[in-house]
Amino acid sequence: MFFFIGKKLLLLLSAVGKISKLFIDTIKWIFKKPFDLKNIISQMVHIGYDSIPVVMLTSLFTGMVFALQTGIGLESTLKGTSTFVGGVLIIALVRELSPVLTALIIAGRIGSSIAAEIGTMQVTEQIDALKTLATNPVQYLSVPRFMALTLMMPVLVILSNFIGWAGGAFVSTFELEIPFLTYFHNSQAALKLGDIMSGLIKASFFGMIIAVIGCYKGFDTRGGAEGVGKSTISSVVISSILILVSDYFLTTFLSFAFNI
């Protein structure tokens, strides 16, 4: 039993070390020439623009469901309090729902794609070919994806905030019969700059997690097509867990930093 626990602990520590090294190497290579701007923009389009439909759909119905459930709950507790649903919704979206849900969606869509793409290159020895051509794999593969995710995640979260809020406005107006101006003013009164900044910082941090884990699992792929499949699945699982765990610590730190 102790042997089994010790073996698993050593594997965990080894993985943490490799992930940390990849993160440091990626940061280091960001500032070294040549700068592959074309590849970065291509990744930004793939990660950001191509993810807009699924992010919009998710945030729209999240906002609608949250507004409906909150409005019904408030009204059943104390008559007339459902008018505050706008303020409750916007705070929940900006601080937590949009950053976390968007990150989980992107982890599933993009994180798996990164792991599969780099994993396929690893098992087909294309990464060895890059080294032979004096091209650093971290600079060529990890840096563009890392930068694209770090930059595009806040953009997707801003879009998610707006669409979720709009979905809540629709439900509040037509289902809960709350005047739109009341919904709007309650949202405006509740929202602070610190709330927005907190959500965007979380989004960038989650983007880094997705990029580093996806690239790590890709580089660490072994065993042909079966290994690629395992790397893809574990990339999504590990990214999702780290997003949820880090969210607590980020919330604690940012609440103190922005006094919210």
- Count of structural domains within the chain: 1
Q: Domain for residue 28, yes or no?
A: no
Q: What is the pLDDT of residues 24-73, one digit of tens each?
A: 999 999 988 888 888 999 999 999 999 999 999 999 999 999 999 988 88
Q: Domain for residue 2, yes or no?
A: no
> Looking at residue 97, what is its pLDDT?
93
Q: How far is CA 228 from CA 127, 209, 215, 223, in A?
A: 14, 20, 12, 8
CB 163 within 8 A of CB 60: yes
Q: Mean pLDDT, the chain, as a whole number?
A: 90
CB 98 within 8 A of CB 167: no
Q: Domain for residue 62, yes or no?
A: yes
Q: Domain for residue 15, yes or no?
A: no
Sorted by sequence, the CB contacts under 8 Å of residue 23 that are 6+ apart come out as 208, 212
Q: What is the mean pLDDT of residues 76-93?
A: 85
Q: Domain for residue 152, yes or no?
A: yes
Q: What is the pLDDT of residues 206-226, one digit of tens each?
A: 999 999 999 999 999 888 888
Q: Domain for residue 12, yes or no?
A: no
Domain that holds residue 77: 35-258
Q: How confident is the model at residue 177 (pLDDT cuts 50, 70, 90)?
A: confident
**Is residue 11 scored above 90 in pLDDT?**
no
Which 8-state DSSP code applies to residue 176?
A: S
Q: Domain for residue 4, yes or no?
A: no
Output the CA torsion sign for 12, 14, 15, 19: positive
Q: How confident is the model at residue 260 (pLDDT cuts 50, 70, 90)?
A: low
Q: Domain for residue 23, yes or no?
A: no
